[in-house]
Structure formats: C-alpha cells, structure tokens
Chains A and B, each alone.
Chain A
Amino acid sequence: MAFAAFATTTSDADQAPRRKSPVALLLLLPGILYLVLFFLTPLVSLLLTSFQTPIEGGDIGQYAYAFRWENYVEVVTAYLPHILRSFAFALTATVLALIFSYPLAYFIGVTARRWPLVQSLMLVLVIAPFFISFLLRTLAWKQILSDESFIITSLKAVALMAPDAHFTGTSAAVIFGLTYNFIPFMTLPLYTTLERLDTRYLEAGSDLYAHPVEVFRKVTIPLSMPGIVAGTLLTFIPAAGDYVNASRDFLGGPDSQMIGNVIEANFLVLQNYPAAAALSIILMTVILVIVMVYVKRAGTEELL
C-alpha cells in the first residue's frame, strides 16, 4: 500500500510470527472506530453529495439525492485548467522543496553528526515556523512580497523587475508560498532517513572507484529513497489540495487559482455542493493514483 512509505524500517523478515489475539483486536478498536466515524462516514457522505441534483424550483443550495453523474463531466469541463494548474503547482513546489531540503537534511543528518548540538539546533530551526500559524506566516509573506515592500522596490530599482510588474498574485508567488510552507514536511522525513545513513556504504563506493558524484547518485540517493518518497508525498498531497497560498487574500491572483480555491468557492460562496463534492472526489482519486504509481515506480518497498 502506498502509505507503507511512512512506515519505519523494520522489514517483515525480522518480525516475529503473528498470532491472532483478542487483545490486538481490542487495541485496534479505538482506531477503527475513529476511522469509521471521521473518515469513512464523511467520505460516503461526500460521494453521495457529488451525485446530488438541484431540487426543482428549490432555493439555491437545496439538493436532493440522485445519481447525477453529469456533475463530474460538468466540473471537469469547467475547471480542467484549475485541476491541471493545481498538480503543476504542487509538482513544482515539491521539486523545489526537495532541492532545498536535501542539502539541508544531509547537512543536519550526516555532516553535523560530529556536533550533536548543531544538529539539534538546526532541527529546532526547521521546526520553528510551526510555532507561528500557517496563515500568519503566509500573510507575512504577502507583506514582504507586496509591491511597496523593500524587496520588490529594490528589485525594481535595479531593473531586475519591470516598474509595473507585481509579484503577489502571480503563479510564481503561489509556488513560492507552497514551497516555503512545505519545506519542513520535506526536510524532516529526509533527515530521519539520512540520519541513519551508514557512511560505510559511501566509503565502500569510493573504494570501488566511484567518483563522489557517482557515489551520491548510485549509493546515497537510492539509500535515502524512503525519505525522498515520504517527503515528496507529505509535500505533494497537501500542496495539490491547498487553498490558502493560492487564495486572493494571500499570495494568489485570478490567474493562479487552484482546485482547492474552486472547491472552497463552490462550497462556501456558490453553495454548489455537488460540484464541490465531485471536485473533491476527483482530487482524491487523482492523488491516490499518482501516489500509487509513484510508490510502485520508486520501488521503496524493499528498502523499508
């Protein structure tokens, strides 16, 4: 299953043979109840809503249960650009976050092993943004990147930006926000894998005539695959459905709306619940398919 990527490193081989025990079932019960109540029920409700049809002559926002599959066709034709944009933004942000996080995680997990104090200090710094609300931080960036801000006026002064150009409201600003907000989710799983990386494998690679670049490509990257998979999933999945960064109140503009914003608008403003539900189901399905293909292709099951 896809989420095995989040599991720890114990392989099946080391585990003791399992016995069926009533105690184990009893211990599982709260979790199962929780999932049925808070995951399965809303999911079924969402699925049913997505096929609802407007009540004839009813008010806005009044729908009856039906099997109106045309809802799906309609939302896809209406919002295909948003769907594609969402995945493109999420993908770009994930790749950027990986590029920024990998060296950082490598430094904390491998290079800084000799100085545990530096290690813990840097980890605290990675987690530190969580002490401030996600919304506040994104709003702060809106200020920092606004047209009147120091950064933008300076860039305009040195003619790196056109005088009438904006940064907030563009696709770049949304991708920037997504990357920034999800870097800790990328760095932490990468750190946990790299922290356990046995550097003797790197020495063995070097001993076997591999240039440092080759050692990185052939040994370090494959051995840190569990962290890469976990980090990219933790970034990509929430980023694809994110509706804060792309919101017009934050970093987004009319041309950088993501599917999350559309769902939000349909649910809260237009009160078109079936359309919002259908979009949510589509989003979930597409993410699930992408994740399953990805995990299969990454071949990390054997490493876990």
Chain B
Amino acid sequence: MSTGAFAAQGADLELVGIQKRFPGFTAIEHLDLKIPAGSFFALLGPSGCGKTTTLRLVAGLEAPTAGRILIGGTDVTDQKSFQRPVNTVFQSYALFPHMTVLENVAFGLRRRRIDEPVAKAHEALRLVELDHLAARKPQQLSGGQQQRVALARAIVNRPALLLLDEPLGALDLKLRRQMQLELKAIQEEVGLTFLHVTHDQEEAMTMADTVAVMNKGRIEQMGAPEELYELPKTAFVANFLGQSNLFTGPVVGSTRDAISVGVAGHNIVVPAARAHRHIGEVTIGIRPEKLSLHLSAPADDAARNTLGPGRVIDVSFSGVSTQYLIDVPHLGNLVVFAQNMGFGPVADEHAEVWVSWAIEHGFGLEDEPGDTPKFESDTTTRSIAAQRRASLVTELEEI
C-alpha cells in the first residue's frame, strides 16, 4: 500500500496454485487464475463452491493453505488486508453504523492520508448519485442506496483491484438491473480491475468480460460469456449457465468434420471442432432455444439433426417465449424454448411433435459420461435464485 497516492490504473491479479483448507473441509482444491488489468471478471458458481473464499483470500481476510497471490506482479500473499491495494464491496455492505455516509466513504482516504478526503468522498458520492444524502447515517438509507454507498466507499480509494462479493444479491430485480448497468459504466469510466463473485449467471454474463464457472473448489471453465454459453465444456457448465438438453451415447462414426453419436436409435451429428471427445461414450448437448418444433415429421436434411416423434407433456407460456417439455421415447424429456412469433403456443399438450436443430449448434462435453444429471436438482443456488427472482417479478407486477 502506498500512502498518499492512488493506484494509476487497475492491476492484474494472479493466483498460483491456491489451496485453502478449513478444519473439516477443503474450500479450494487447486486454483490457478490470471485476471488481466482493467477487465471485469466474474467468478460464477453455486453457494459453497469456494468463490467467496477466493475473494477473501485476495482481500487478505483469509490466508491460503498453499499457493501465492500476486497483484500487479507483486507477491501479496504475506501482506495483511490493510496493506493490500484492494477494496471490497461486501455482500452485507458492512457500512459503519456509527458514521455518516460521507465519513464512511472518506474512511479509506483518511487512513491513507490522502489529500482532501472530504472533497474526494463527495466526488465519489456524486458518481453514485447520492451526494445529497452524505450527512445521513447508513441505517437511514434503502438497501439500494446502501449498496451504492458501499460501492462509493470502495472505488473512492481507486484500488488496483476491486472485489465485489455478490453486492447485488439483496436488491430487487428492477434495482438490480439498474445497478448492473451502473456498475459496468463505472468500471469502464474508472478503468479498474473488477473481480465479481456471484451465483447469478445472468448477472455474470451481462456484466463480465470473462466468466469463470467454479464448482467444488475448482474452475470448470473460463472464457467470454458467449463462448461459455455456446460451447460449454462440462455438464455442470452446460446446466449452470442456462439450460441444456444432454444425451449420452457411443460414437458410431466420425469424419474429419463431424462425429456421429448413436442416441436411442437416432444418429446425432456434432461438429468435430465443437466436441471435446471423439471416441467411446460421449455426452452431447443442445441449448433449448436452438431447437425447432415440428408438428409433422420434417423432411430429411443433412444439415439438421432430427428427433421424434415425441409427446408434449408440458407447455408453459412466459410472454416472449414458450417452454415446451417433450417426452421422446427412450431419450427422456427435452426442453424447447420457442419465441412466440405468432399468437400463443404452437403445440398443445399431448400433441405429437418432432424437434430438429442445425448440426453446427450441437456441442460435445469433455466429461466422462456417467452419473451427471441432465438437470440440476432444485436445491441449487441457481434455482433458488430463479425462484426468488420469479417471486420478485410477480411482486413487482403487483405494485
């Protein structure tokens, strides 16, 4: 930590062979991670996957069992949290209740003996549009306002690295959306490196340049949001980031460009470049919105995979789109998202339907096919978050 001066810009963060064990369990198995300076990086995963522990390790609030932490090339592993050029927006905000909003924001500046702490604190509060409430105590603010104060209190220090620990978790949907955009705008404006920890896949995808999906103390896959979504590497990623229809079967034929997988009597073709395994038992998948629904058997098309006939067992209409659940014999249930181009659903329950998709949309997973469930059980953080969001939406509509 340098006294009296700001970090010129964001610094890159490097985690080398990090392991964190607590008495009784291992929070992080082995983590190698490099976050380039100035990027907005999201660490996405269900609760208990080790993402918050990772954040606390970077902030210096926990010490790793093994491994090194480097910020801007400097090894900070042995530095205490108050010595690191890092600030955190805590999940609980942790605004000091005995200080005014202004004093909260000026706290870090005063500790570092920065000139004109009050003027700079006002400036940061103007950035989050809360300067008019500077004299209030945190308890007198709404949740969204407290969140913005917590953000101002962190960014006013111009840390080389800003850590965000699910800071939007407590906000309602409308405010959440608005804060996501504001946060992104602020990040671009001040050019800091943001490390954002969240269990909300939508939030991670809309805000981050790079997303790392974490599961059971490891990073499953890392990349740009589009890349992760369109070409998931593991069943966990395929189901945690959006939904997927996954099938398992042996590779029955392969050419230079594509592999052909036998699934319940159908041959499904996947581009070789989009499949991680080319021989033996493989798991392949397709996103529900890539599927087309047909009310009669479609004509054979070499560019498309076709499954069917199956029976519609559930139709749920959600305005922009309709979700169909289709039971295909020997395959289990398929999920199809269809845009509502016409009026209402195109197929009724119990209708006989076929589904097809363009070959280039399929993907093959790296996982050993096995016990990975097609859909996550309903106790995951994501589904709980989804349920809460759904209830919030209805609540908002009622108002």
Interface residues of A (CB under 8 A from B): 11, 13, 198, 200-201, 203-212, 214-215, 218-219, 222-223, 225, 302-303
Contact of A210 among B82, B90, B98, B153 (CB under 8 A): B82
Q: Which residues of A contact B94 (CB under 8 A)?
A: 198, 200-201, 203-204
> Within B136-160, which residues are at the interface with A (CB < 8 Å)?
137, 139, 153, 157
- Supposing A208-B107, A209-B1 touch, asked if A203 and B81 sit within 8 A by C-beta, the answer is yes
Q: Is the CB of A210 within 8 A of B111?
A: yes
- Bound CA span A212–B94, Å: 17
Q: Is the CB of A223 within 8 A of B112?
A: no
Contact of B107 among A13, A200, A210, A211 (CB under 8 A): A210
Q: Which residues of B contact A303 (CB under 8 A)?
A: 97-98
Per-position binary interface string of chain B over residues 89-111, scored 1 when its CB falls under 8 Å from any chain A CB and 0 otherwise: 01010111110000000011001
Q: Is the CB of B97 within 8 A of A207?
A: no
Residue of A nearest to B91 (CB): A200
Q: Is the CB of B87 within 8 A of A223?
A: no
Q: Is the CB of B81 within 8 A of A219?
A: no
Apart from A204-B90, A208-B82, A208-B107, what are 5 other A-B pairs with CB-CB below 8 Å?
A200-B92, A201-B94, A204-B95, A206-B82, A209-B157
> Within B72-131, which residues are at the interface with A (CB < 8 Å)?
80-82, 86-88, 90, 92, 94-98, 107-108, 111-112
Interface residues of B (CB under 8 A from A): 1, 59-61, 80-82, 86-88, 90, 92, 94-98, 107-108, 111-112, 137, 139, 153, 157
Shortest distance from the beta carbon of A221 to any chain B beta carbon, whole Å:
10
Q: Which residues of A contact B95 (CB under 8 A)?
A: 204
Q: Is the CB of A209 within 8 A of B61?
A: no
Q: Is the CB of B80 within 8 A of A206?
A: yes
Q: Which residues of B contact A212 (CB under 8 A)?
A: 82
Give 21 pairs: A residue, B residue, CB < 8 Å, sorted on A: A11-B139, A13-B139, A198-B94, A200-B92, A203-B61, A203-B90, A203-B94, A204-B94, A206-B60, A207-B88, A208-B82, A208-B157, A209-B82, A209-B111, A209-B157, A210-B111, A211-B82, A211-B111, A223-B98, A225-B98, A303-B97
- Bound CA span A302–B98, Å: 8
- Supposing A214-B111, A303-B98 touch, asked if A207 and B92 sit within 8 A by C-beta, the answer is no
Contact of A206 among B81, B112, B137 (CB under 8 A): B81
Contact of A209 among B97, B108, B139 (CB under 8 A): B108
- Supposing A200-B90, A200-B94 touch, asked if A207 and B61 sit within 8 A by C-beta, the answer is yes
Contact of B98 among A203, A214, A222 (CB under 8 A): A222
Q: Is the CB of A207 within 8 A of B1?
A: no
Main secondary structure of the interface of B (DSSP, over half): loop
Q: Which residues of A contact B96 (CB under 8 A)?
A: 201, 204-205, 219, 222-223
Shortest distance from the beta carbon of B110 to any chain A beta carbon, whole Å:
9
Residue of B nearest to A221 (CB): B98
Q: Which residues of B contact A208 (CB under 8 A)?
A: 82, 87, 107-108, 111, 153, 157
Minimum-distance CB pairs A-B, first 5: A208-B108, A204-B94, A209-B111, A222-B98, A206-B81
- Bound CA span A209–B117, Å: 14
Shortest distance from the beta carbon of B315 to any chain A beta carbon, whole Å:
46
Most buried by B among A209, A215, A303: A209
Residue of A nearest to B111 (CB): A209
Q: Which residues of B contact A302 (CB under 8 A)?
A: 98, 137
Shortest distance from the beta carbon of B50 to any chain A beta carbon, whole Å:
18
Residue of A nearest to B83 (CB): A209
- Bound CA span A208–B81, Å: 8
Shortest distance from the beta carbon of B287 to any chain A beta carbon, whole Å:
39
Q: Which residues of A contact B87 (CB under 8 A)?
A: 207-208
Contact of B82 among A11, A201, A207 (CB under 8 A): A207
Q: Which residues of B contact A206 (CB under 8 A)?
A: 60-61, 80-82
Q: Is the CB of B97 within 8 A of A223?
A: yes
Most buried by B among A206, A210, A214: A206
Shortest distance from the beta carbon of A10 to any chain B beta carbon, whole Å:
13
Residue of B nearest to A219 (CB): B96
Q: Which residues of A contact B107 (CB under 8 A)?
A: 205, 208, 210, 218
Q: Which residues of A contact B88 (CB under 8 A)?
A: 204, 207
Q: Which residues of B contact A11 (CB under 8 A)?
A: 139
Q: Which residues of B contact A219 (CB under 8 A)?
A: 96
Shortest distance from the beta carbon of A89 to any chain B beta carbon, whole Å:
32
Shortest distance from the beta carbon of A44 to any chain B beta carbon, whole Å:
41
Q: Which residues of A contact B112 (CB under 8 A)?
A: 209
Residue of B nearest to A225 (CB): B98
Q: Which residues of B contact A200 (CB under 8 A)?
A: 90, 92, 94
- Bound CA span A212–B107, Å: 14
- Bound CA span A193–B95, Å: 18
Q: Which residues of A contact B137 (CB under 8 A)?
A: 302
- Bound CA span A198–B138, Å: 15
Residue of B nearest to A11 (CB): B139
- Bound CA span A184–B190, Å: 53
Q: Which residues of B contact A210 (CB under 8 A)?
A: 82, 107, 111
Residue of B nearest to A211 (CB): B82
